[in-house]
């Protein structure tokens, strides 16, 4: 039990739990204190100083976000001294800032801009200090513009605390202080995984995704091009937020309608290839298990790691190259889709794949990097031409003049548009694992997974590393070798937790046959391409929406997807077959560690 502490804020008495900050205490009274460097997901920095407040008897102003309450503290949040200091701090930040707000894609979500408007800073008080620093656009996913950086270190803390990647760090001191990379190298040449979590937490436009919106419009306007679009599972639970719909609300029907209205020639679903991924990855797992358990093949790498998250893929290539054999060779659903769009789909619709443009809408920035990998051209063309984030997609809706909220719900096109509940939950951490178990258990035993309502709850939720096990009983004759085997699985989300999980596997603390890792906190629903802001409440709402949607689906197991079944019958043959390997599987590259 923590002690209660008596304080007053603006002369209102209040009891607060010991250890709470002044900021948290003020929130209890609905007193708003502005913040810039503070973020709920991150540790306290207390360096922007915009949140300063007055504490009786303290000669200095104190940072509300950083200072815990003390017994008898009398706090004032609105005095001349505070207002003068805040205005000065904002003025100072603006003298360093590249104020081209009308051209900045973060304009609508820029916290610095909001504060400047709040405080009506219309006259330039101090001398302009804007430096001429070139934009780092070396990465296919993330753009770093130091002229907009306010040195709040949110990105640095994100990269360290949430992701354990440390691609970004502060360097230099004094007026030269900057957010930087190893040896000031371009972002493309460092350990950055392109996860984009820094973008989601950057209060300004210093970190943004590289936009491909113009190229996509070009393709749509070009009558000679057939433009197919796929939408990832997590997009539909978040994009509504950019149109003032509550987080977690499922807007699939209107999303499809808006894409069609924009002029895409085929509106298809990544959920379809999510189901396909489960068939391929599940088969691969069972094959690996058979080789290990029956054939006693020591060369089989177990546990098998999921390979859906491109941020995670680049992470393991940098940090744990010795574990690359453990990665499933399955491409991510996006890339499976891309490879099939320009082969299977093109053939069925009798379209020349050379005239096809394949666009994907993703909650992710790492997917932009993934689509540009040289190995992702198995269709004979670039499998996925352009990747847009949820945010870019929303901006396209705005460009097109569509009033998305008045649209009628529409369905995805067929051939590659059908999906199951198993694909829906891909967007949440543990979802791929749950989908895989639902299918694998049924293949092996002919029965449903032994969890109530096939909801595998131990691997749901926001715990950093989750583990579960189930004993396989009543196997079909073909899978007799798995009878009585206790199948162990582990799940991690956020790359810091990936570190923990791998360390646990290495030390023997964690045992698993199959491991799912998603680069972003919460999985794709918290992806780096999702609407800003992000925090645990928003991610929780998106996750709840995901599981609610799954529970309402008629088909909830990937192998039940009729279009996937048709795909195997008409085109691929069998899971992990020759054509599957050619189109749906890939290989990995060891990368440097700095």
Partner 1 sequence: MPTSTVKRTDLIFKKDIDYSAVMHKIMKMGKDEFIEELIDSGLRGRGGAGFPTGLKWKLVKAEQSPEKYIICNADEGEPGTFKDREILDNAAEKVIWGMTLAAYITGAKEGFIYIRAEYKYMQTKLRIAIDRMEQNIKALGIKFKLDLVFGAGAYICGEETALIHSMEGYRGEPTNKPPFPVTQGYLNKPTVVNNVETFVNAIIIAEIGAKEYKKLGTKASQGTKLFSVSGDCCKEGIFELEMGMTVQQFVDEFGDGDTKAVQVGGASGFCVPRKEFPNTIIGFEGVPTGGSMKVFNSSRSMYNTLENYLIFFEEESCGQCTPCRIGTQQLLMGIHAVKRKEKPKSYLDELLKLAQTMKFASKCGLGRSVGNAFGSIVTNFREEIIY
Q: Does 405 bind partner 1 (CB under 8 A)?
A: no
Q: Does 26 bind partner 1 (CB under 8 A)?
A: no
Q: Which is nearer to partner 1, 150 or 388 (CB)?
A: 150
Question: Are 328 and 322 within 8 A, CB to CB?
Answer: no
Catalytic residue among 370, 434, 516, 560: 370
Annotation says 419 is catalytic:
no
Q: Which is nearer to partner 1, 96 or 209 (CB)?
A: 96
Q: Does 176 bind partner 1 (CB under 8 A)?
A: yes
Annotation says 225 is catalytic:
no
Q: Which residue has the tokens 């929406």?
A: 545
Annotation says 590 is catalytic:
no
Question: Are 258 and 397 within 8 A, CB to CB?
Answer: yes
Q: Does 177 bind partner 1 (CB under 8 A)?
A: yes
Go through the chain and tell me how many residues it has. 594
Catalytic residue among 109, 258, 306, 328: 328
Would you say the C-alpha torsion 186, 188, 194, 200 has a positive or negative sign? positive
Catalytic residue among 149, 152, 159, 524: 524
Q: Does 110 bind partner 1 (CB under 8 A)?
A: no
Give the interface size with partner 1 as a residue count (CB under 8 A): 37
Question: Are 273 and 334 within 8 A, CB to CB?
Answer: yes
Q: Does 153 bind partner 1 (CB under 8 A)?
A: yes
Q: Does 4 bind partner 1 (CB under 8 A)?
A: no
Neighbouring-strand partners of residue 229: 267, 359
Tell me, residue by residue from 114 to 133, as one string, x for binding to partner 1 by CB under 8 A and - for no binding. Answer: -----------xxx-x----
Annotation says 308 is catalytic:
yes
Would you say the C-alpha torsion 278, 281, 283, 288 has a positive or negative sign? negative
Here the tokens at position 429 are 């951490």
Annotation says 473 is catalytic:
no
Q: Does 164 bind partner 1 (CB under 8 A)?
A: no
Would you say the C-alpha torsion 320, 325, 331, 333 has a positive or negative sign? negative
Question: Are 412 and 230 within 8 A, CB to CB?
Answer: no
Catalytic residue among 54, 96, 280, 284: 284
What's the helix, strand, coil split of the chain in %, to 5? 45, 15, 40
Residues 393 and 24: their CA atoms lie apart, in Å, by 35
What does the H/E/C string look like for 375-425?
CCCCCCCCCCCEEEEHHHHHHHHHHHCCCHHHCCCCCCCCCCCCCCHHHHH
Residues 158 and 167: their CA atoms lie apart, in Å, by 10
Here the tokens at position 291 are 């080789």
Contacts of partner 1 in 213-242 (CB under 8 A):
none
Question: Are 431 and 333 within 8 A, CB to CB?
Answer: no
Smallest separation, CB 43 to partner 1 (Å): 11
Contacts of partner 1 in 37-56 (CB under 8 A):
44-50, 52
Catalytic residue among 101, 192, 308, 520: 308
Mapping DSSP to helix (H, G, I), strand (E, B) and coil, where does residue 521 land?
A: coil
Segment contacting partner 1 by CB under 8 A, of 145-153, 215-223, 241-249, 326-334 = 145-153
With vertex at residue 136, the alpha carbon angle to CA 131 and CA 141, rounded to the nearest 5 degrees, is: 145
Annotation says 486 is catalytic:
no
Smallest separation, CB 49 to partner 1 (Å): 5
Q: Does 174 bind partner 1 (CB under 8 A)?
A: yes
Which of 15, 19, 56, 88 is close enough to bind partner 1 by CB under 8 A? 88
Q: Which is nearer to partner 1, 221 or 594 (CB)?
A: 594
Smallest separation, CB 89 to partner 1 (Å): 5
Catalytically active residues, by annotation: 281, 284, 308, 328, 367, 370, 375, 524
Residues that bind partner 1 (CB under 8 A): 44-50, 52, 60-61, 63, 66-68, 81, 84-85, 88-89, 92-93, 95-96, 125-127, 129, 150-151, 153, 170, 172-177
């Amino acid at each position: 039990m923590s002690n209660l502490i008596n304080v007053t804020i603006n002369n209102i008495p209040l009891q607060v739990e010991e250890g709470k900050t002044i900021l948290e205490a003020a929130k209890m009274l609905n007193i708003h204190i502005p913040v810039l460097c503070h973020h709920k997901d991150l540790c306290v920095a207390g360096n922007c100083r915009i949140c300063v407040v007055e504490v009786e008897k303290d000669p200095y102003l104190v940072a509300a976000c950083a200072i815990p309450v003390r017994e008898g503290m009398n706090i004032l949040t609105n005095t001349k001294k505070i207002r003068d200091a805040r205005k000065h701090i904002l003025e100072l930040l603006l003298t360093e800032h590249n104020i081209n707000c009308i051209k900045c894609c973060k304009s609508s979500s820029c916290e610095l801009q909001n504060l400047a408007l709040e405080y009506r800073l219309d006259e330039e008080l101090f001398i302009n200090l804007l430096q001429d620093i070139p934009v780092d656009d070396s990465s296919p996913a993330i753009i770093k513009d130091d002229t907009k950086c306010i040195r709040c270190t949110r990105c640095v803390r994100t990269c360290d605390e949430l992701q354990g990647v440390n691609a970004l760090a502060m360097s230099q001191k004094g007026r030269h202080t900057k957010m930087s990379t190893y040896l000031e190298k371009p972002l493309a040449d460092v350990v950055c995984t392109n996860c984009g979590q820094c973008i989601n937490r950057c209060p300004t436009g210093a970190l943004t995704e590289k936009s491909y919106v113009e190229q996509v419009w070009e393709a749509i306007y070009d009558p000679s091009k057939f433009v197919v679009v796929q939408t990832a599972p997590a997009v539909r639970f978040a994009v509504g937020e950019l149109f003032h719909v509550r987080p977690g609300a499922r807007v699939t029907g209107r999303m499809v309608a808006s894409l069609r209205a924009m002029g895409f020639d085929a509106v298809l679903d990544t959920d379809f290839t999510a189901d396909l991924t489960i068939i391929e990855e599940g088969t691969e797992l069972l094959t690996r298990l058979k080789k290990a358990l029956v054939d006693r093949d020591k060369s089989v790498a177990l546990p098998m790691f999921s390979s859906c998250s491109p941020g995670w893929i680049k992470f393991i290539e940098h940090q744990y190259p010795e574990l690359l054999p453990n990665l499933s060779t399955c491409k991510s659903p996006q890339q499976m889709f891309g490879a099939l769009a320009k082969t299977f789909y093109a053939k069925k619709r009798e379209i020349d794949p050379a005239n096809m443009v394949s666009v994907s809408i993703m909650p992710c920035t790492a997917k932009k990097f993934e689509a540009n990998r040289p190995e992702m051209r198995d269709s004979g063309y670039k499998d996925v031409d352009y990747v847009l984030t949820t945010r870019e997609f929303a901006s396209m809706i705005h460009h097109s003049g569509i009033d998305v909220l008045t649209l009628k719900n529409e369905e995805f096109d067929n051939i590659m548009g059908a999906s199951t509940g198993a694909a829906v939950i891909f967007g949440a951490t543990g979802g791929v694992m749950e989908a895989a178990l639902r299918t694998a258990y049924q293949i092996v035993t002919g029965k449903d997974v032994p969890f109530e309502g096939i909801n595998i709850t131990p691997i749901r939720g926001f715990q950093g590393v989750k583990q579960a096990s189930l004993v396989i009983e009543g196997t079909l004759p073909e899978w007799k070798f798995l009878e009585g085997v206790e199948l162990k699985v582990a799940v991690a989300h956020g790359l810091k937790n990936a570190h923990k999980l791998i360390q646990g596997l290495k030390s023997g603390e964690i045992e698993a046959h199959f491991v799912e890792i998603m680069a972003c906190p919460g999985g794709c629903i918290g992806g780096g391409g999702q609407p800003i802001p992000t925090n645990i409440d928003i991610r929780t709402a998106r996750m709840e929406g995901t599981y609610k949607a799954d529970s309402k689906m008629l088909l909830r197991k990937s192998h039940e997807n009729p279009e996937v079944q048709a795909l195997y019958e008409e085109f691929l043959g069998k899971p992990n077959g020759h054509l599957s390997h050619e189109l749906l599987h890939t290989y990995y590259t060891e990368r440097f560690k700095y």
